[in-house]
Structure 1
Amino acid sequence: MKVAIYTLGCKVNQYETQAMEQELLARGHTLAEFSEEADAYIVNTCSVTAVSDQKSRQVIHGVQRKHPGAVVAVCGCYPQTHVDDVRKLGVDLIAGTGDRTGFIRLLEEAAAEKRQIEAIDQPFERRVFEVLPAGGLEGRTRAMLKVEDGCVNFCTYCIIPYARGRVRSLPIPTAVEQTRALAAEGYREIVVTGIEISSWGQDLKNGETLIDLLEAVCAAAPAVRIRLGSLEPRTITEDFCRRAAALPNLCPQFHLSLQSGCDATLRRMNRHYTADEYRTIVRNLR
């Protein structure tokens, strides 16, 4: 079966698309560009804003119009949080944000049996991190390593906890194993990513935090650049700064979330820092 995938949204979605690509290839399927003719089309959606929802619908409508005889499968945050809306689109397979390997098996079933399938779970019932193959396809110098899923910050208006569930962390030994494998495959840079990586380790309840993970990953591949995804400002403690500064292959680039410079707005958004605290955090990091 020839399969094409369209990805909307964040780096985690990109990572999970790469994992699905690898699973498809491992199961004997071939990949196509989304603009090409294919037997099946996967739309990996985003739902972080109403605009994201609209873009997801536009892509789904477009592929249905251009390829009426193909299997159309939808996964990701949009069906996880708006399943009734996705049902109205008449696609062949509806799934959410979990069990990517199972999703590929369901795609095969939908194609072989010519029937509609729906597989939406309850994200807050997930307790185990789904380990997926890290990296990407051949020819890419930068790989992604997903180390965390879920979020329990419950910022005002944010839908992500309801799309992704509770925090689940990739254990350090598995992260080290995947890092070494990526280095052996020739990747020169690894981006450590997740839905909310600042909360990494919260569920493990062994005292480990993100800096412990970073020290292990950097040591596992000393010749590879390690880059961090977006961070919550609370991650940047003096201990984090001191230990991060000692990691020669950690890229000195940090993306710190800042929704507003107004304390009243930050409180209304349920952000757990003030403008002055943010300023101090950046000063310590420098």
Structure 2
Amino acid sequence: MKVAIYTLGCKVNQYETQAMEQELRRRGHEVVEFSAPADAYVVNSCSVTAVSDQKSRQMLHRVRREHPAAVAALCGCYPQTHVEDVRKLDVDLIAGTGDRVGFIDLLEQAVEEKRPIEAIDKAFDRRTFEVLPAGGMAERTRAMLKVEDGCVNFCTYCIIPYARGPVRSLPLDKAMEQAAQLKADGYREIVLTGIEISSWGKDLKNGQTLIDLMEGLCKAAPGVRIRLGSLEPRTITEDFCRRAAQLPDLCPQFHLSMQSGCDATLKRMNRKYDTTRFAQSVALLNQYFEHPAITTDMIVGFPEETEEEFAQTLDFIRTCGFAQMHIFPYSIRPGTPAAEMRQVPKAVKEERARRGAAVAAEMRRAYLAACVGKMYSVLFEQPKDGRFFGHAPNYMEVLVEGENLHNTVKNVRITGLEGEALLGEIVEE
């Protein structure tokens, strides 16, 4: 059969989509573009905001309108958390966030039997990690490796714990096997992904933590760059930094999930740290790594956020010197405690987002300017505007003159800036 998959949301969803595509091809099926004729169309949904839910519904309506005879299937976080709403839609197959291989079985069944199927489990009953094949992006230069699923932080704005269930970790030996295979397949970088990778190992109950995983992966795939996904600030300890700094293949890019630079706001969010602890993490990373790229997320206009609280956040982020920030106006997620709090007007949220973005842009320019004159090993990915494009270990974009550089690593001296990109020249060894 021909199958098309449309993916919404985070890197975990992207990872699980490529794993399902691998499984479909292994079974002899054909994966096609979502715009092409197919026997089945799958929407792998996100439910982090109400807008995400709306996008999933829009894609399903499009399938019904353009391909009325095909099977319409929905999986992911939206049906896991809002199954009653999903049942009202014209969908042939409804599944949640668990058992991706089993979902392919159901998809085959739905196409063959032409009858509605529903398979929603209880996310909080899950206790094992579903091992899926690791997969690539960026034309076999970088690969994603999902090492963790689930979250039990219960931030007041977030529905994901209800969609994904408790923490489950990919055992270290399995992770090392997959990393070694990715190296053998020719990948030059592995990106660790998960719902909350800082919690890796908690369910294994053998004392292993994220730094043990990092050391194991570097041992299993020497010479392959290891890049971390989003981290909780509490992960960054003296021991973590001391051991991480000894790993030559670890990329010095650390995305610390911040959300706010005001302690009162962090408390309303039910975050498990304060600004003092976050600042300690930033200081430790700067102490153990030379010019690390510390990046973050920030929500502005969180319920009950005052102008004074937002001003505290602006002051705080300036002290951190982030290399890059993703700034989001707070979006109501029905079903979460924050949705019941006193809301900040939309115009105020948008105005604060602009002010935050202006500070973030200043810090990014300063970080990029400080890269000029430095030498980086750059993993090149693809041609771009007559030059070749790649990423430095700190994930900054680099452009050089050259051709046929795909999936090669070259030493590059940074000579200048062009917008958000670093310009450089290859230094022959």
Q: Tell me which residue corresponds to 1:236.
A: 236
Q: Whole-Å Cα distance in 1 between the matches of residues 138 and 53 of structure 2? A: 31
CA contact (8 A) 1:22 1:137 kept: no
Whether the 8 Å CA contact 1:19–1:136 is kept in 2: the answer is no
Alignment check: 8 A CA contact 1:198 1:235 kept: yes
Deviation at 1:138, TM superposition (A): 9.8
Match of 1:4, as an amino acid? Answer: A
1:94 aligned partner: 94
**Contact 1:225–1:251 at 8 Å: present in 2 too?**
yes
Maintained 8 Å contact 2:155/2:271: yes
In 2, Cα distance between equivalents of 1:249 and 1:55: 38
Instruction: Tell me if structure 2 keeps the 8 A contact 1:18–1:137.
Output: no
Q: 1:208: which partner in 2? A: 208
Q: Which residue of 2 aligns with 1:176?
A: 176
C-alpha separation between the residues in 2 aligned to 1:121 and 1:210? 28
Counterparts of 1:14-33 in structure 2, within 5 Å, are: 14-33=14-33
- Any idea what SS the aligned residue of 1:136 has? strand
Distance apart, 1:175 and its partner CA: 0.2
Which stretch shifts more, 193-202 or 51-60? 51-60
SS in 2 for 1:285: helix
1:19, 1:134 within 8 Å by CA — same for their partners in 2? yes
Note the 1:1-286 alignment, pairs <5 A: 1-136=1-136, 139-286=139-286
Q: Distance in 2 between matches of 1:280 and 1:133?
A: 37
**CA deviation profile, 1:104-134 (whole Å, cap 9, x unmatched):** 0000000000000000000010000000011
CA distance in 1, matches of 2:269, 2:31: 42
Using structure 1 for the length normalisation, give the TM-score.
0.98
- The superposition leaves residues 136-194 of structure 1 with CA deviations (integer Å, 9 ceiling, x where unpaired) of 38942111000000001111131111000000000000000000001000011110010
Report the AA paired with residue 83 of structure 2. Answer: V
Q: Supply the distance in 1 between the matched residues of 2:201 and 2:209 (Cα, whole angstroms).
A: 5
Opposite residue 178 of structure 2, the aligned amino acid is Q
Q: Provide the C-alpha distance between the structure 2 equivalents of 1:20 and 1:137, rounded to a whole number of angstroms.
A: 15
Please say if residues 148 and 200 of structure 2, whose CA atoms lie closer than 8 Å, have aligned partners that are also in contact.
yes
Shift of 1:66: 1.0
In 1, Cα distance between equivalents of 2:173 and 2:77: 29
Separation in structure 1 between the aligned mates of residue 275 and residue 240 of structure 2, nearest angstrom: 20
How far residue 58 of structure 1 moved from its aligned partner, in angstroms, is: 1.1
**Who wins on radius of gyration, i.e. which is larger?**
2
Q: As a proportion of its length, which structure holds more strand?
A: 2
| SS of corresponding position for 1:181 | helix
**Bigger relative contact order (CA 8 A; separation at least 6):** 1
Runs (4+) of structure 1 exceeding 2 A deviation are 136-140
Amino acid at match of 1:180: A
Identity over aligned residues, as a percent? 77
User: Which amino acid is 1:134 matched to?
Assistant: A
Equivalenced residues, count:
286
Contact 2:234–2:277 (8 Å) recurs in 1: no
Deviation at 1:37, TM superposition (A): 1.0
Q: Distance in 2 between matches of 1:215 and 1:4?
A: 37
Q: How far, CA to CA, are the matches of 1:233 and 1:221 in structure 2?
A: 27
User: Does 134-143 or 222-231 show the bigger shift?
Assistant: 134-143
Structure 1 unaligned segments of length 5 or more: list them.
none
